[in-house]
Amino acid sequence: MPASPLVEFCDVTKRFGDGPIVLDRVSLAAQEGDFVSLIGPSGCGKSTVLRLLAGLSPLTAGTIAIDGMAPDAAAAELAFVCLEPTLLPWLTVAHNVEVPQKLRGVPAVERSATRRHVLELVRLAEKADAYPRQLSGGQKMRVSIARALALAPKILLLDEPFGALDEMTREHLNEELLAIREKEAWTAFFVTHSVAEAVFLSNRVFVLSSHPGRIQREIAVPLPYPRTEETRLSPAYHELVANVSRVLRSVETAAA
Amino acid sequence: MNPMSRPFLKLLLPAATGALVLALWYAIHFFLSEDRRFLLPPPDAVLAALRDNAPFLARAALNTSQGALIGFGLAVVVSFALSLLLSLSPLVRASLYPYLMALQLTPLPILAPICVIWAGAGLASVSLLTFAIAFFPLVVNTTQGLISTDRNLVELFRLYGAGQWQQLFILRVPAALPYFFTGLRIAATLAPIGAVVADMNAGSSAGDGGGLGFQAIIYSSQARYPALFATAAVTCVLGFVFNAVVLAVAWLALHHWHDSYERTDK
């Protein structure tokens, strides 16, 4: 393990204006290559953790270091995927995927090479000329992931990316996401409501409690990668899901 | 319903409506006592007047189209620039909207003589007045579009470090297009009407410069009613052409991606 973590939260506190405290002295550290899931009841501030990481919102107190930098300075190392695919409806899939690079002034030749590569990764190369409304929900989300990967980020922030999809599609995309990660090494912060999803994807699961948001427990998931369909059938996986569920339930009852 | 019959019905039904209107028109004409039939000249008389007055009506239509086009074009350009300004902040909107409203709320026949004092009677005034009437719906709609960009997309652009100009031209302007075209369709309806009314109030027949409004005044003062009806018909056609062109441009810009158009690919 490298000595210095890639991402480090030190006593991070966040409140919006004079509102209640959303995050209360959150401290966590993620190493390069970690797949970190954040899970907790609604209102526990897990999405806020990602927004702070992305520099979309200022901290109230504490510090965040990404590769030793503040979030604003580290923006180039991050990519964000959220619940909505947020594609530009007037652009084709190909042009959507190229948007982030276009905004950074990357030349067209390089952009199209990247675009081909990332659309291969999400297995949507044949949809390059389609418009978003011609795609299914799962396909849109894959385009959204491809667009995020186009920047070759060191850290991928995913805010319930599969929350609006049906169970089958979600499981497929979970497997695909891990398959992509085998080829492209990035560190992931993944927010979800689904215990099964968190366990399947992550090597570390953080359970948060709400009002104010605090980290209640970190649970390690020592299942070996690559994980596949088979992983979901293993007793170790089921035991971990049950364990995380138990912790999550205790957090929710404590809040109620 | 048999799906094959749909395109057929789409042609048949409007044609049937047209035939019905014509029949009703003739019926009313012959129902009137003979000395009052001038009130509604029959379609064939209108057609004959159209043919006999074709050179005058064509010239008038050309002049009116010119004024309408210049005013309409001016409205598009100015409204776009103004919308960009208005989209900057609620403060800018609050300070400018009341005065834009004032311009729109002043009736054209009152604005016309003022315009004539400034620009003289003729094409310049007609264009200016058409501009004044066409640009409000464009400004309102385009501004609304520019400030209604999906917040998630704005945030995404911020995250990717997009500059203000990039955000404006890669995100906000394309996102505002459907709104812009809504404004454009209203403006395309208003512009030909505006040009005709402006022509009646601020036009000039000097150098064959009279438009359809002028022509209507002449025919009405000479009690040439079939020709007056023919003028009305030409005005309608002009309006249709304006709208058809705008609808076609909107279709070209939006049908690939906007949900107001049916998907043709699946």
**How many C-beta neighbours within 10 Å does residue A228 have?**
12
In a domain, B74, yes or no: yes
User: Which is nearest to A204 in space by CA: A28, A44, A62?
Assistant: A28
Q: Look up the domain containing A160 and give its range.
A: 7-84+156-255
In a domain, B121, yes or no: yes
Looking at residue A248, its pLDDT comes to 92
Q: Number of folded domains in chain B?
A: 1
Q: What CATH number corresponds to the domain at position A248?
A: 3.40.50.300
In a domain, B264, yes or no: no
Confidence of residue A256 (pLDDT cuts 50, 70, 90): low
At residue A142, what is the residue type? R
Q: How far apart are CA A216 and CA A23, in angstroms?
A: 12
Q: How far apart are CA A79 and CA A81, in angstroms?
A: 7
Confidence of residue B7 (pLDDT cuts 50, 70, 90): confident
In a domain, A23, yes or no: yes
In a domain, A69, yes or no: yes
**How much is the CA Rg of chain B, to the nearest whole Å?**
23
Looking at residue A254, its pLDDT comes to 76
CA A209 to chain centre: 19
In a domain, B179, yes or no: yes
In a domain, A61, yes or no: yes
Looking at residue A186, its pLDDT comes to 93
B174 → chain A, closest CA residue:
A90
Q: What is the DSSP letter of B211?
A: -
In a domain, B242, yes or no: yes
Q: How far apart are CA B226 and CA B29, in angstroms?
A: 13
For residue B244, pLDDT over 90 is answered with: yes
Q: How far apart are CA A178 and CA A200, in angstroms?
A: 9
Q: Are A22 and A62 in contact (CB under 8 A)?
A: no
Q: Number of folded domains in chain A?
A: 1
At residue A24, what is the residue type? D
A90 vs B159, B257, B266: nearest CB: B257
User: Which is nearest to A142 in space by CA: A187, A117, A176, A182?
Assistant: A176
Mean per-residue pLDDT, B125-144: 95
Q: Are A15 and A60 in contact (CB under 8 A)?
A: yes
B164 → chain A, closest CA residue:
A103
In a domain, A89, yes or no: no
Structure tokens at A42: 């609604």
- For residue B124, count CB atoms less than 10 angstroms from its CB and return exposed for 0-12, middle for 13-18, buried for 19 or more: middle
Tell me whether residues B257 and A100 touch, CB distance under 8 A.
no
Structure tokens at A216: 């209640």
In a domain, A148, yes or no: no
- The helix or strand, by DSSP H or E, that contains position A8, with its residue range, turns out to be strand A7-15
Tell me whether residues B159 and A75 touch, CB distance under 8 A.
yes
In a domain, A131, yes or no: no
Provide the mean pLDDT of chain B: 92
B161 contacts in chain A (CB < 8 Å): 75-76, 103-104
**pLDDT tens figures, A130-172:** 999 999 999 999 999 999 999 899 999 999 999 888 999 999 9
In a domain, B200, yes or no: yes
B155 contacts in chain A (CB < 8 Å): 56
Its ipTM equals 0.86
Q: CB of A22 within 8 Å of any CB in chain B?
A: no
For residue A188, pLDDT over 80 is answered with: yes
Q: What CATH number corresponds to the domain at position B164?
A: 1.10.3720.10
Which residues, in sequence order, are bridge partners of residue A66?
Answer: A7, A69
In a domain, A101, yes or no: no
Q: How far apart are CA A145 and CA A161, in angstroms?
A: 9
Q: Look up the domain containing B50 and give its range.
A: 40-254
Looking at residue A1, its pLDDT comes to 47
In a domain, B23, yes or no: no
B265 vs A55, A91, A134: nearest CB: A134
In a domain, B259, yes or no: no
Mean per-residue pLDDT, A175-194: 92
Confidence of residue B3 (pLDDT cuts 50, 70, 90): low
Tell me whether residues B155 and A84 touch, CB distance under 8 A.
no
Confidence of residue B2 (pLDDT cuts 50, 70, 90): low
